[in-house]
Amino acid sequence: AVLACAAEVRPLLHFTPEKGWLNDPNGLFYDRKDDIWHIYFQSNPKNPFWEKELHWGHATSKDLTNWTQHESAINPSHRGEGILSGSVVVDRNNTSGFFNDSVHPEHRIVALYTRNPGLIETQEAAYSVDGGYTFTKYEKNPVLDVKSSQFRDPKVMWHEASNQWIMTVVEAQDYQIQIYGSDDLKNWNFHSNFSAGYPGFQFECPGLSEVPIAGTNETKWVLFLAINPGAPWGGSASQYFVGDFDGYEFKAIDSLTRFVDIGKDYYALQTFSNVEKKDGVIGISWASNWQYANKVPASNWRGMLAMARNFTLDYVSVNPQKKLLSLVESPIFEANVSKTSEKKNVKLQKGDSIEFETKSGVFEFELDFQTMKNITYPEQPNLDLYITSSNGKESIRFGFEADVGAFYFDRPTNVFQNPYYSNVVTANIQPTKKYEYNIYGVVDQNVIELFFMNGTTSSTNIFYFSDGKPSKVELKSNYNDLFKIQKFSLRDLSV
């Protein structure tokens, strides 16, 4: 009963399916005619766990926060068939020939997805003439078949410079991201293979995006890649490479693997297609981890998406020597602030605490602090933020240990007990020259998204309380004359 209770609270700022199961976000696109965001997602509408048949569930939003769920948009035609992950493009110029003049150019919508009828995986096309609500499968499917059982997750985009459609897709267990090109979305030519990063068990959900470099007119290409299992922190992870793309080959600028998010629950990131340039690169991930996704507390639905994020690139100070071209991320959502609490310029001494109440249990917070002296081994001076449930039984403990210089995140493991649902994740952060740190966080029902140092590192983690909502937020230290809190603020949110 306790488990059901925790799961029945739906997040406010995160998308969840009305019923059944959700995993990867699919087919994310922006409709420029009706100014509406479309998301599709891996869906098992029958049961709250992963099982074929799999459909493309569908929802739309005007603000990337309030979502309306619609009928499933692409459905399997046989028992045991999976309509697996894939993407959507707007075929404005009717390169595919799927459309006639009666279909508005902005509503010429084509989906490319993986079909898994059982033993092999092929890429298929389907088109929609009603703005993305219903799709007709191309009668000559598949559009790409290499006789592989592990060939999936096509992400398609229009590449302006080489005037062609580009697909990235994985040969999952051969550790290849394959790049194909096409003039018509139906005939695909192999261009190149890319293989790098953490291999893990297999590659999944690749994607290529041109991302602006902050403060310049330049861009670089970012190649996203999910691996599962095999994340450094266990299970699922979203990594990326920064490089150049000429329409045929992706060349990374270095051989470093970067991570989109270092939390346990941020997987299968996909970016929106057809977004206006000025709006930048926007993406959504699934907020879970295959290690326990099918087992987290649930009622008749299970699974949520992370909030939409904006991505830019910047030269980020990752250690005293190096500025590394990396993603900078910030969440996108619309909410009303119902109450603000704030403290500024406080030296937080041993035993002191700054305490805020949250009424809605959904809030954002900012914490800017400075360490005022160097600490020597073996002292263990902590700055701790506790987020506690209204019955006082569980807390998230999130904080910083000044000797190690890293953040930790610790979630209660009593409500959802699972060996892979680990309680601690850590983040190494390079402070500013003045030993200043900043964190921005959004806490929703059962999920916390943290952004360190102006969004240069993020950590997304789901959590479970026995009574759902957080109500008390406290900042504490165990050490004197060390932590100067420049700002600690909390805003209660409602939608």
Q: Decide whether 116 or 461 has the Cβ nearer to ligand FRU.
A: 116
Which of 114, 285, 358, 430 forms a contact with ligand FRU (CB under 6 A)?
114
Q: Is 153 in the site for ligand FRU (CB under 6 A)?
A: yes
Q: Is 490 in the site for ligand FRU (CB under 6 A)?
A: no
> How far apart, in Å, are the Cα atoms of 413 and each of 112, 140, 416, 475?
39, 50, 6, 21
Four-point Cα dihedral 69, 73, 77, 81, nearest 10: -70
For residues 185 to 204, the per-residue mask of contacts with ligand FRU, x marking binding by CB under 6 A and - elsewhere, is -------------------x
Report yes or no: 129 and 111 within 8 Å, Cβ to Cβ: no
Which of 55, 108, 152, 309 forms a contact with ligand FRU (CB under 6 A)?
152
SS (H, E, C) 455-481: CCEEEEEECCCCCCCEEEEEEEECCCC
Q: Decide whether 289 or 446 has the Cβ nearer to ligand FRU.
A: 289
CB of 236 to ligand FRU, least distance (A): 7
Query: Which of the residues 268 through 327 are near ligand FRU (CB under 6 A)?
Result: 268
Query: Which of the residues 13 through 32 are near ligand FRU (CB under 6 A)?
Result: 23-24
Q: Decide whether 267 or 479 has the Cβ nearer to ligand FRU.
A: 267
Structure tokens at 91: 């075929």
Q: Decide whether 85 or 458 has the Cβ nearer to ligand FRU.
A: 85
Q: Is 58 in the site for ligand FRU (CB under 6 A)?
A: no
Instruction: Find the radius of gyration of the CA atoms of the chain.
Output: 23
Q: Is 43 in the site for ligand FRU (CB under 6 A)?
A: no
Query: Which of the residues 394 through 433 are near ligand FRU (CB under 6 A)?
Result: none
Q: Decide whether 153 or 492 has the Cβ nearer to ligand FRU.
A: 153
Question: Hey, is 16 helix, strand or coil?
Answer: coil
Which of 22, 28, 39, 54 forms a contact with ligand FRU (CB under 6 A)?
54
Q: Is 124 in the site for ligand FRU (CB under 6 A)?
A: no
CB of 54 to ligand FRU, least distance (A): 6
Q: How far apart are CA 99 and CA 128, in angstroms?
A: 9
Report yes or no: 36 and 59 within 8 Å, Cβ to Cβ: no
Cβ-Cβ contacts under 8 Å for 274 (sequence gap 6 or more): 29, 30, 31, 32, 89, 90
Report yes or no: 457 and 427 within 8 Å, Cβ to Cβ: yes
CB of 56 to ligand FRU, least distance (A): 10
Query: Which of the residues 249 through 278 are near ligand FRU (CB under 6 A)?
Result: 268
Q: Decide whether 54 or 73 has the Cβ nearer to ligand FRU.
A: 54
Q: Is 42 in the site for ligand FRU (CB under 6 A)?
A: yes
Query: In which element (H, E) is residue 6 found?
Result: helix 2-8
Q: How far apart are CA 432 and CA 229, in angstroms?
A: 34
Q: Is the dihedral of CA 47, 51, 53, 54 positive or negative?
A: positive
CB of 275 to ligand FRU, least distance (A): 23
Kindly report whether the peptide bond that precedes residue 320 is cis, defined as omega within 30 degrees of 0.
no
Q: How far apart are CA 262 and CA 94, in angstroms?
A: 40
Any idea which residues carry the catalytic annotation?
A: 24
Query: In which element (H, E) is residue 493 found?
Result: strand 483-494
Q: Is 85 in the site for ligand FRU (CB under 6 A)?
A: yes
- 162 secondary structure, DSSP code: T
Which of 84, 89, 112, 179 forms a contact with ligand FRU (CB under 6 A)?
84
Q: Decide whether 108 or 115 has the Cβ nearer to ligand FRU.
A: 115
Q: Which residues bind ligand FRU (CB under 6 A)?
A: 23-24, 42, 54, 84-85, 114, 152-153, 204-205, 268
